[in-house]
Amino acid sequence: MAFHPSGITLDIVGINANDQGRSCEIHKCCGAVLEVDMVIRLRTIQILVNGKEETAIAAYRVSGGVDSCRVGFARRHLLKYKDDYDARLAQVLEIFNDTTENPSDRMKAHRNRGCCQVVFIEAEYRLTPEKKRQKTDSPVAPTK
């Protein structure tokens, strides 16, 4: 069953940076290859920040149905929703840079080392308790 975009948007920041895994052997800066209508997948990962391990929500470009380059990160304040965002697909709506007409969007791009706005493209699926019980592979019946 196909779904229309949910209308829920968020910013992916740091797309013009090439640290924290945002460069590869093919691209000097993986976020620079982003274009409008490209698909990305969000993933919860662990990264090193100033020698300390931290949780982050990373954005990966999807190419041929496979996650490829890490292109940026969701903002830190969204970490409290990391379980809701993990493995979600989104589509790039707009890329903010130095040539963006809106001055506040230009400042946002400059302040965040590049920024783009994405919209979720699939609905979140939640199983009801009855369906969860039917889907279990365990031969033991669930207890109440």
State how far the Cα of 108 lies from the Cα of 94, in Å rounded to an integer: 13
In this structure, which amino acid lies at residue 11? D
What is the reported pTM? 0.75
State how far the Cα of 51 lies from the Cα of 64, in Å rounded to an integer: 34
Average pLDDT, rounded, for the chain: 81
Asked whether residue 2 carries a pLDDT value surpassing 50, the answer given is no
Q: Contact 12/59 with Cβ under 8 angstroms? A: yes
Read off the pLDDT of residues 72-129 as tens digits, 9 standing for 90 and up: 999 999 999 999 899 899 999 999 988 888 898 899 888 988 899 999 987 554 444 4
Confidence at residue 128, expressed as pLDDT on a 0 to 100 scale? 45
Q: Give 66's strand partners.
A: 63
In this structure, which amino acid lies at residue 30? C
Neighbours of 86 (CB within 10 A): 13
For the chain, the domains span 9-124
Confidence at residue 27, expressed as pLDDT on a 0 to 100 scale? 81
Q: Contact 74/42 with Cβ under 8 angstroms? A: yes
State how far the Cα of 131 lies from the Cα of 139, in Å rounded to an integer: 16
